[in-house]
Amino acid sequence: MFKKLALAFTLSLAASTASAQEIDAETEDFVSSNLIAIFYHELGHALIDILQLPVFGQEEDAADVLSVVMVHELFDEETAVAITYATAYGFLGEAEDRESQGADVAWWGVHGADLQRYYTLVCLFYGASPDEREDVAEELGLPEERAITCEDEYQLANDSWGPVLDELYEAGAGDSFVYSDMGDDAPFAVLTHNVIVAELTALNEVLSLPTPLKVSVAYCGEANAFYDPSAVEVTMCIEFAEYLAELSNQ
């Protein structure tokens, strides 16, 4: 698997810009961490499309797995743990939000249920480094019955995504990730912009895609993030950051 890029990818969780200062530090950390995990999930969809990768099972599950692999491989341990805790609590928050509204779990949907995604995230992250992360598994309530398979589950994830990422890394630096935003100066627009620009800048320094990938930050009319294969574009919706902030304050 390609080397860790701890310095380039370390998240400045406490850093704020002047136009985003009305967001408190704790909320900013939570939102930023979730945006990173969400971006790498959407990158999974993009890579599957651009590289025409085979998918055995649900594509959404494959994208979730890539997000965990990227967080484990690209960030220093302290930051990776912080991102994982925030992302896990994001899934819990969505499950609690759904329950409070009396909404049924969409078992028919292409995404796994929020609690399933929560436990898979925790399991894979723990399985990537079980000796270091035993406390993470305990604090996030990973059942022993699941924990015993997690190291093997992460190895399978690494065996699947690792060669794909190695090939991109071996291609070297480039300008494959092309950024576009709407230039809005609202706090959560600025925060989303800052997070995504930092990730794309770091990615361009170390790997290349065979086809440029456009990444946009925009208002979408809904709390969402998505990959559009017809445009080869990932869109990070500003409303998603706003929704995550609401979850963090519940």
pLDDT at 139 > cutoff 80 = yes
pLDDT of residue 17: 43
Tokens of 203: 């990615």
Q: Give the integer Cα–Cα distance in Å for 84 and 98.
A: 21
pLDDT of residue 93: 79
Q: Give the integer Cα–Cα distance in Å for 61 and 71.
A: 16
Q: Give the integer Cα–Cα distance in Å for 117 and 41.
A: 12
Q: Could you give the strand order of the β-sheet that contains 233-237, starting from the edge strand earlier in sequence? A: 177-181, 213-218, 233-237, 225-228
If we measure between CA atoms, which residue out of 64, 34, 43 comes closest to residue 241? 34
18-32 confidence digits (pLDDT tens): 344 578 999 999 999
In degrees, rounded to 5, the angle at the alpha carbon of residue 83 between the alpha carbons of residues 132 and 68 is 75
In degrees, rounded to 5, the angle at the alpha carbon of residue 239 between the alpha carbons of residues 203 and 23 is 80
Report whether 65 contacts 73 (CB < 8 A): no
Q: What is the mean pLDDT of the chain?
A: 88
The interaxial angle of helices 59-74 and 25-50, nearest 10 deg, is 120
pLDDT band with cut points at 50, 70 and 90 for residue 6 = very low
169-213 confidence digits (pLDDT tens): 999 999 999 999 888 899 999 999 999 999 999 999 999 999 999
What pairs with residue 218 in β-bridges?
237
pTM: predicted TM-score of the whole model, two decimal places: 0.89
